[in-house]
Homo-oligomer: A and B are copies of this chain.
Amino acid sequence: MVPLSRKSPVPPDRCNLARAVDQIGDRWTLLILRSALYGVRRFDDFQTELGTPRTILSGRLKSLVDSGLLAKRTYKVEGRRARPEYVLTTKGEALRPVLIALNQWGDQWLESEGQPPISFTDSQSRQAVRIAFVTEDGREVSVENMRIVLRR
């Protein structure tokens, strides 16, 4: 357990965690990203699946495009009318490990009946996959062995 402290080692206004929270730490934003990571791309698909009020969804999608997490593109299938779609950028795709980690936390700590409905495996070994911290050369590090390094 971290000892009691009066203040965090990094003040929120210079903390990239706090800044990340400012950018995506919002219920609808996170749910939209969840759907996007599962391949949902269109306005009405987000709306139907999440039940987001259309006004709010419109605003959130704009913010996500502004902050570079989604790209708004036009999707054209021959013989059909062009449609807008919202696709994850590299920056948005980079959140996948974060959301998978949160999913695993939910699997473990939110009581639910039966097995979790979804899990991840290695396509080669077919073993279950979990999130972990590793050194540069790929050795696993337990949370207890992690040290905070402050720059200043």
Contact = CB atoms under 8 A, between A and B. Distances in A.
Interface of A: 1-12, 14-23, 25-27, 30-31, 34-35, 37-42, 45, 48-50, 85, 87-88, 91, 93-103, 105-110, 112, 115-125, 127-141, 143, 145-152
Given A20-B105, A26-B25, A122-B146, A131 B97 contact: yes
A34 B15 contact: yes
A136 B141 contact: no
Number of identical protomers: 2
What is the predominant secondary structure among interface residues of chain A facing chain B?
A: mixed
Given A16-B116, A35-B8, A91-B109, A137 B146 contact: no
Given A15-B118, A91-B109, A121-B147, A133 B100 contact: yes
